[in-house]
Chain A
Amino acid sequence: MSEVTGELNCKSVRKSLWDYMAGSIATARSGTQNAPGGDPDRGQIALHLDACRECQLHGSEVRSMLSGLKHLPALHVSPILTTRLQILASRERSRLLARRDFKAFLKDIGSRARLFFDNLLKPFAVPAAGGILASMLCFGVIVDTLHVVPDWDNDMPLGLFTEVMIDEPSPFSCNGRDVMVQLTVDSGGHVTDFALPQDRNPLPDELLEIGNAVQFTSFTPAMRFGQPVSSKRLLLISHISIKG
Chain B
Amino acid sequence: MNGAFYLNLNANLTPEQEAALEDERLISGLQLGDEKAYERLIQRFQTPVYNLAWRLVNDPADASDVVQEVFLKVFRNIGHFRRDSSLRTWVYRIAVNESHNRRRWLFRHRRGETGIEENFDDSEGRERPLMDMGETPFDFTMNREAQILLEEGLAAINPVFRAALVLREVEDMSYEEIAEILEVSLGTVKSRIMRGREALRRYLADRLETTPALQLVPRTVK
Q: Which residues of A contact B (CB under 8 A)?
A: 15, 18, 33-34, 36, 49, 53, 56-57, 59-78, 81-82, 84-86, 88-90, 92-93, 96-97, 100
Contacts and interface: CB of A to CB of B under 8 A. Distances in A.
A89 B220 contact: no
B199 to A, nearest CB: 11
A82 B49 CA distance: 12
Contact of B75 (A18, A53, A68, A88): A88
The number of chain B residues touching the other chain, given as a range, is: 35 or more
Given A65-B150, A85-B46, A75 B60 contact: yes
Nearest to B126: A73
Contacts of A70: 169-170, 172
B139 A60 contact: no
A81 B150 contact: no
A108 to B, nearest CB: 11
Interface in B102-140: 123, 125-129, 135-139
B142 A71 contact: yes
B86 interface: no
A55 to B, nearest CB: 9
A88 B63 CA distance: 16
18 contacts: A15-B194, A18-B197, A36-B175, A60-B221, A64-B217, A65-B150, A66-B169, A72-B170, A74-B51, A76-B126, A81-B46, A81-B68, A82-B42, A88-B71, A88-B75, A92-B38, A96-B33, A96-B79
A56 B220 contact: yes
A200 B150 CA distance: 124
Task: Please classify the interface of chain A as helix (H, G, I), strand (E, B), loop, or mixed, using the class held by over half of its residues.
Answer: helix
B89 interface: no
B68 A88 contact: yes
A119 B204 CA distance: 54
Interface string B183-222: 0000000100110010011001100000000001111110
B176 interface: yes
Contacts of B72: 88, 92
B4 to A, nearest CB: 33
Interface in B152-186: 169-170, 172, 174-176
A193 to B, nearest CB: 90
Given A60-B217, A73-B147, A100-B33, A68 B138 contact: yes
Nearest to B34: A93
A70 B50 CA distance: 17
Contact of A76 (B127, B136, B139): B127
Nearest to B51: A75
A77 B175 contact: no
B56 interface: no
A72 B151 contact: yes
